[in-house]
Structure 1
Amino acid sequence: MKVSVVYREESDHARAVIDFVRDYQRQTGRELETIDPDSPEGAQFCRTYDIVEYPSIVAASNEGVLQNLWRGLPLPLINELSYYDHDE
């Protein structure tokens, strides 16, 4: 499975997301993928998973099937995400 964080770097929520991603990496030893919704790839990702609110965190299987979606603040707990962040 794969966990991705969609957020805009130039936004009010950016600091909270950056801190969360750093803390997640520190606690789990794994990195979260970050996606810019304004990039072409990010825009396609947002259309695929119907993301219109930032930040959003997407947990998807390796085949791309949505497993869970968290929208907006507050961000989920690190242990909630780590459940989804593993190889199938």
Structure 2
Amino acid sequence: MRIIAIYNKESDHARATEDFLYEFERRTGYKIETLSPYDRENESLLRAYDIVEYPTIIALSESGELLHIWKGMPIPLINEVSYYLG
């Protein structure tokens, strides 16, 4: 299972996203992977899953299949995302 948060660290939503990531790790012990939408190496992932709104959190299976996607604000609840950890 892979959970990824895509957001811009220089945006209005950065603080809320980082608070969510910190609290998620504190409660679950799982650190969510973070990506910038402006890094060139992330371009194919953004296209593959049609990600154009930030912040976006995606849950992927081991094979890369999209299990769930949360786009924009408000940020989902920790329980909603942690469900996909198994």
Q: TM-score range by the shorter chain?
A: over 0.9
- Report whether the alignment pairs 1:2 with 2:17: no
RMSD after superposition: 0.9
Secondary structure of 1:8's aligned partner: coil
Tell me the CA shift for residue 41 of structure 1. 2.2
What is the TM-score when the length of structure 2 is the normalising length? 0.95
Give runs of ≥4 in structure 1 deviating > 4 Å.
none
- Report whether the alignment pairs 1:37 with 2:43: no
* Percent of aligned pairs sharing the same letter: 49
Which runs of 5 or more structure 2 residues have no equivalent in the other structure?
none
Q: How many residues align?
A: 86
2:27 aligned partner: 27
Which runs of 5 or more structure 1 residues have no equivalent in the other structure?
none
What is the TM-score when the length of structure 1 is the normalising length? 0.93
* Deviation readout 1:44-77 (Å, 9 max, x if unpaired): 2111110000000111101110000000011111
